[in-house]
A = this chain, B = another copy of it.
Amino acid sequence: MTLLNETHDPSLRSWVDSANQEGCDFPIQNLPFAVFCRQDEENAMRGGVAIGDQVLDLAALQRLRPFIGLAAEALEAASQPYLNLLMSMGPSAWSALRLALSRALREGAEDAEAFAQCLVPMAEVRYDLPCVIGDYTDFYSSIHHATAVGKLFRPDNPLLPNYKWVPIGYHGRASSIDVSGQAFHRPQGQVKAPDAAEPSLAPSRRLDYELEMGILVGTGNELGAPISMTQAEDQIFGLCLLNDWSARDLQAWEYQPLGPFLAKSFASTISPWIVTLEALAPFRQAFTRPEGDPAPLPYLDSEHNRAQGALDIELECCLQTAGMAEQGLAPQQLARSNFRHSYWTPAQMVTHHSVNGCNLMPGDLLGTGTQSGPLPEEAGSLLELTQGGKQPLKLDNGEERLFLEDGDTVVMRGFCEAPGAVRIGFGEVRGTVLPARRREGE
**A positions within 8 Å CB-CB of B:** 134-138, 140, 150, 160, 162, 165-166, 168-176, 178, 184-185, 187-190, 192, 198-201, 223-226, 228, 247, 250, 253-263, 265-267, 294, 297-299, 352-353, 355-361, 364, 437, 439-440
Contact = CB atoms under 8 A, between A and B. Distances in A.
A156 to B, nearest CB: 16
Which one of A176, A187, A224, A356 has the greatest number of beta carbons of chain B within 10 Å?
A356
- Number of this chain's copies in the assembly equals 2
Given A166-B190, A176-B359, A254-B162, A184 B224 contact: yes
A42 to B, nearest CB: 19
Given A259-B260, A356-B250, A228 B440 contact: yes
A253 to B, nearest CB: 6
Contacts of A260: 170, 258-259
B166 A223 contact: no
Contact of A357 (B169, B223, B266): B266
A404 to B, nearest CB: 15
B437 A224 contact: yes
Contacts of A188: 226, 355-357
A323 to B, nearest CB: 24
A265 B176 contact: no
A364 to B, nearest CB: 7
27 contacts: A162-B192, A162-B253, A165-B199, A168-B258, A168-B261, A169-B261, A170-B171, A170-B261, A171-B172, A173-B358, A175-B361, A176-B359, A178-B223, A185-B224, A185-B357, A187-B356, A188-B226, A189-B355, A189-B356, A201-B298, A223-B267, A228-B440, A250-B356, A262-B352, A265-B358, A266-B358, A267-B357
Contacts of A266: 223-224, 356-358
Given A171-B265, A256-B160, A437 B299 contact: no
A190 B170 contact: no
Contact of A259 (B200, B258, B358, B439): B258
A348 to B, nearest CB: 12
A198 B165 contact: yes
A168 to B, nearest CB: 6
A254 to B, nearest CB: 5
Contacts of A223: 175-176, 178, 184, 266-267
A246 to B, nearest CB: 11
A361 B132 CA distance: 13
Nearest to A149: B257
A160 B258 CA distance: 11
Contact of A201 (B355, B357, B359): B355
A412 to B, nearest CB: 20
A227 to B, nearest CB: 11
